[in-house]
Amino acid sequence: MKKIRFAIASTLASLTLLAFPGGAGAAVDASDKVIDFDTMAGVAPPFTGTANPIRGVPGGGLPWVLERAQGVLRADGRLDIRVHGLVLADDPLVAPDLRLTNPIPNFRAIVNCLSVDETGLPSTVNVGTDNFPASTTGDAHIVATVELPTPCYAPIVFVTNPNGAWFSITGR
């Protein structure tokens, strides 16, 4: 009877591995998606400026809005983001002549991960891209590869200015 139970258990374990090939301990495929998004949120008070950074990344100094965004981050660090209409908000905090425009000629991206440092303690890791051209209407396409930490838990993707202040963030 023990042999039959063992055979059944072995067969079930094999079928489980076939059904769930990405189970614990499985190798990560470089094309695996870490995060895939179809929306981002623009920076708004109270996150504008340096008073309330998100995971160490300060907000842009003024409110920003965007029409749409989409992107993907893959396990090997490949990042592809498209933003459309990422512009200063139509807000009293923004000078009237700058509202609904993008005065920044280049955007970049920062990927944030919660990770574990060499001592085994939790850490926050930000990795960034080079600058990419952005139009005055707030359109940009960022294609880059970043070096993700291992592990990379709860990733957040930011679109920032060249100095690293964020204008948009994954979420809504």
Angle at 116 between CA 147 and CA 127, to 5 degrees: 25
The pLDDT tens digits for 19-49 are 334 444 455 677 799 999 999 999 999 999 9
Dist. CA 54–CA 44, nearest whole Å: 12
The count of other CB atoms within 10 Å of the CB of residue 25 is: 5
Dist. CA 167–CA 112, nearest whole Å: 15
The pLDDT tens digits for 115-124 are 999 999 999 9
Q: Which residues pair with 158 in a beta bridge?
A: 110, 169
pTM above 0.75, yes or no: yes
Q: Which amino acid is at 21?
A: P
Are 168 and 133 spatial neighbours (Cβ–Cβ below 8 Å)? Answer: no
What value does the CA radius of gyration of the chain take, rounded to a whole number of Å? 21
Q: What are phi and psi of 8, to 5 degrees?
A: -65, -45
Q: Which amino acid is at 113?
A: C
Buried b (16+ CB within 10 A) or exposed e, 44-76: beebbeeeeeebebbbbebbbbbeebebebbee
Please tell me the predicted confidence (pLDDT) of residue 6: 39
Does pLDDT of 5 surpass 70?
no
**The architecture CATH gives domain 28-170:** Sandwich (2.60)
Q: Where are the domains of the chain?
A: 28-170
Please tell me the predicted confidence (pLDDT) of residue 29: 75
Q: 101, 103, 73: which is closest to 85 by C-alpha? A: 101
Please tell me the predicted confidence (pLDDT) of residue 163: 98
Lowest mean pLDDT: which of 14-18, 93-97, 152-156? 14-18
Q: Which residues pair with 2 in a beta bridge?
A: none
